[in-house]
Structure 1
């Protein structure tokens, strides 16, 4: 069934709610904008994506270790990192709708429309002009571009805009038992700083030698004014980040290495290479000397999923300056005594877990017409890589009698120690298959009357719907091989 992209995206969002993947947060109270809860299958899928990242990053690299730093951090950390002074977005308000927008995103939407309409030259010219204005922090120029390209408010349809001004994205709160005299602290807007301030702790306690990395998965918080496209842009989100500490002067070599390694990680899930692209930054952050995004083609266009940044020695140098503590690496094998002690450079890989979740959901979603002649039939299937699937297999007794449920439960009890399984005996076997297809379960194991005679069961494969008769005693190995992490990690 062919769908236009808007309809496809709406169907994915509806499917995510109907089948327990993602719910609007606080929905019974009319929800909270740009905040979402992960349902029973969403939580499993999210955990499996985290596991895949952690195994690929920490388990497979002897020189990368993982930590879990606190969300609350000393306020000075955010001064040192530049977030207090410079963590701002250029915002513009429409006077008629009273809605606030990010100026650069309004322009990006216009660029995407030009590209869609085949106006490539216009798109490129606007992209260059916007990049120049952002680099120079020329907010009046951003407003001029919005006016020149006749960008209207999507709500009111008018072009009655305010000036562009900056808006800080950090959430602040009070830290202390009493409201008076308590300190103002921030909910962390990124997880990276928790790694940087623990650089020396990890290096010394783990006897780490340069080059080495510190990985972390954790929540971050940004008061995004523009919250849209489902879970793509949220106020509470999760990051999977790795900071790789290297010798100054080797950063371009390592930058290239991690660009290639991270794209391989994505493609190992079986995604088409055409769905991904690198987008090199023209406007670099103040701390970077090279930066690129790995972008995925969502139904609404290419969007960033992961960033790879060469952060130089900015972060550690800033924390040295603000804390008064030395954050250096001493290399006893360096013969030049002046070069033995140095502040390491850093290559960062940072992936949005929620965006990776959305990517995985969209990539897996498929509507299939299975009609034959006059017999109408269809199914919605989520073709997750088996290692990522929330439920690995479902045990289905053919009927609810004749000892089949007891035999099915016996098989499930043996397998559930190793795999996340489901048991389902309600409705016809066809309806049960469809339910499992809709949540992405790769294998269905049917227990029938023959099972009681010779201990064989039917195993059905989700994508092909092919069924095979196997011995129940072999299921542990069969399922184990089919859903193994080796399939993607190797």
Structure 2
């Protein structure tokens, strides 16, 4: 990560290339682009929605299918407004905001300081980085916003746009979007778009526990949209105002939460590595300032082109949420545990503690895209015809690729299109495929490389004679001749989620 007072041209170029690729090849579009877009809001295109759905389905199955004690729900976006009173969002869901008077740009004060600390760490001064983060954490915990502003000034942090340090006071900015329910304005009720998905799980704790006959420890998983009126929404889809979370709240016996916290930390890190994110680009980052509900918190960070940033949080939330909802709703949120303790006595009724794992689906999408995007120099042809060129390819895990295989007739005649269509029809119920017969086959291969398709199947004249085809592999560009009858198993084995689950 770079000094916030400088513009990291190489990193910016890297991200710009990925953003341009995402738009050109149908992964992510600016929302409402024909009206010049809406800041920090994006739409997923034909290939993007397939990749994102694959990531979500993989997470869902890893949680609910591989863990017998985790079940799922899908809670509503709108919730009773007292939900957010109990959770602390109405009174305390805010970020420290600061403006530069010259550029008129707004920033999160804590992000400016974190980026400065990351700069110190990158230049080898970890001691200074740790001291800065500790000072920031102390000031934010004490809600000393004047001290936060002074720390920014003392660190000589300037606005990246104006280059000046002409800062306003730091003030808190509530991040919740509000709206009204009711047909008549005067009689309407103020409600909020949920800023997180976790509360939908907590208010359904007893419903799920009883209906699914779950016993502590158990988890409730959910994938859903959340909405935050971010002060600074930037870095493409990394920080948006409308985003999707994949969360699991794991309910445990009080006193065991730290054991489960450690276990879920390790489990979740392995999951990201199994997806194809390399270990050297992943790290844990313990929170310097704990949220009001937590007694431990850590982020799993991925090294994006703009530095290490969070893609998942693991938090020990104690019994804060259920206790708060119990107090405000006046409905008990307790579990009767008839297991025996070391003295042979039943644990009885208690409010469970909670360990949370929360993945940003959009951030995971971006991390996957950044890791897969590859520009490499390749050699084509032989002898005097040999030439080198740059190839762009998305090295997505086959299980995540938007398209699993592309089917190409070598030419548009001699019965080859008909045979290729026959193969397409035979396999399309099992895999997402594309059929294409336009342009030279080399150009067709290139298009599929650009969207990450792992296999291209060429139908040629020999196919009509012996029912064999050529399978071209994306990463090594090698070709394998095989019978059509083996295709289903060959592709199915490569693109199965099982290949990822095996690594867990």
Bin the TM-score by the shorter chain: over 0.9
Superposition RMSD on alpha carbons, in Å?
1.4
Pairing partner for 2:79 from 68, 73, 77: 73
2:459 match: 447
Question: Are positions 1:321 and 2:327 aligned together?
Answer: yes
Alignment of 1:371-450 (within 5 A): 371=379, 375-450=387-462
Question: Are positions 1:367 and 2:375 aligned together?
Answer: yes
Q: C-alpha deviations, 1:72-108, integer Å up to 9, x for none?
A: 0000000000000000100111122222111011112
Q: C-alpha deviations, 1:335-363, integer Å up to 9, x for none?
A: 77783011000000000000000000000
Question: Are positions 1:143 and 2:149 aligned together?
Answer: yes
- Between the aligned partners of 2:134 and 2:330, the Cα distance in structure 1 is 41
- Between the aligned partners of 1:451 and 1:148, the Cα distance in structure 2 is 73
- Between the aligned partners of 2:126 and 2:265, the Cα distance in structure 1 is 27
Alignment of 1:121-140 (within 5 A): 121-140=127-146
Flag structure 1 segments of 5+ consecutive residues without an equivalent. none
Q: C-alpha deviations, 1:147-181, integer Å up to 9, x for none?
A: 11111112222211111010000000011122221
Q: Secondary structure at the match of 1:95?
A: coil
Report the TM-score, using the length of structure 2 for normalisation: 0.95
2:112 match: 106
Question: How far is 1:402 from its partner?
Answer: 0.8
- Between the aligned partners of 1:344 and 1:76, the Cα distance in structure 2 is 21
Question: Are positions 1:481 and 2:493 aligned together?
Answer: yes
- Between the aligned partners of 2:124 and 2:379, the Cα distance in structure 1 is 37
Q: C-alpha deviations, 1:16-38, integer Å up to 9, x for none?
A: 01100000111110110000000
1:342 match: 350
**Aligned residues of 2:277 and 2:368 also touching (Cα < 8 A):** no
1:469 match: 481
Question: How far is 1:334 from its partner?
Answer: 3.8
Q: Secondary structure at the match of 2:59?
A: helix
- Between the aligned partners of 2:347 and 2:126, the Cα distance in structure 1 is 50
Q: C-alpha deviations, 1:391-419, integer Å up to 9, x for none?
A: 00000110111111111010000100010
Question: How far is 1:271 from its partner?
Answer: 2.5
Question: Are positions 1:273 and 2:285 aligned together?
Answer: no
Moved over 6 A (4+): 335-338
**Aligned residues of 2:368 and 2:396 also touching (Cα < 8 A):** yes
- Between the aligned partners of 1:153 and 1:347, the Cα distance in structure 2 is 38
Q: Secondary structure at the match of 2:481?
A: strand
> Number of aligned pairs?
488
Q: Secondary structure at the match of 2:275?
A: coil
- Between the aligned partners of 2:346 and 2:457, the Cα distance in structure 1 is 66
1:300 match: 306
- Between the aligned partners of 1:72 and 1:337, the Cα distance in structure 2 is 42
Q: Out of 7-16 and 357-366, give the one that drifted further.
A: 7-16
Pairing partner for 2:182 from 168, 176, 180: 176
Flag structure 2 segments of 5+ consecutive residues without an equivalent. 1-8
Pairing partner for 2:103 from 72, 75, 97: 97
Question: How far is 1:437 from its partner?
Answer: 0.3
Question: Are positions 1:256 and 2:299 aligned together?
Answer: no
Q: C-alpha deviations, 1:305-330, integer Å up to 9, x for none?
A: 10000001000000000111111101
Question: Are positions 1:286 and 2:292 aligned together?
Answer: yes
Q: Out of 59-68 and 109-118, give the one that drifted further.
A: 109-118
1:42 match: 48
Q: Out of 321-330 and 133-142, give the one that drifted further.
A: 133-142
2:360 match: 352
Q: Secondary structure at the match of 2:475?
A: coil
- Between the aligned partners of 1:317 and 1:126, the Cα distance in structure 2 is 35
Q: Secondary structure at the match of 2:19?
A: helix
- Between the aligned partners of 1:337 and 1:194, the Cα distance in structure 2 is 33
- Between the aligned partners of 2:42 and 2:399, the Cα distance in structure 1 is 24
Report the TM-score, using the length of structure 1 for normalisation: 0.97
2:223 match: 217
Q: Secondary structure at the match of 2:187?
A: coil
Alignment of 1:189-268 (within 5 A): 189-268=195-274
- Between the aligned partners of 2:499 and 2:404, the Cα distance in structure 1 is 14
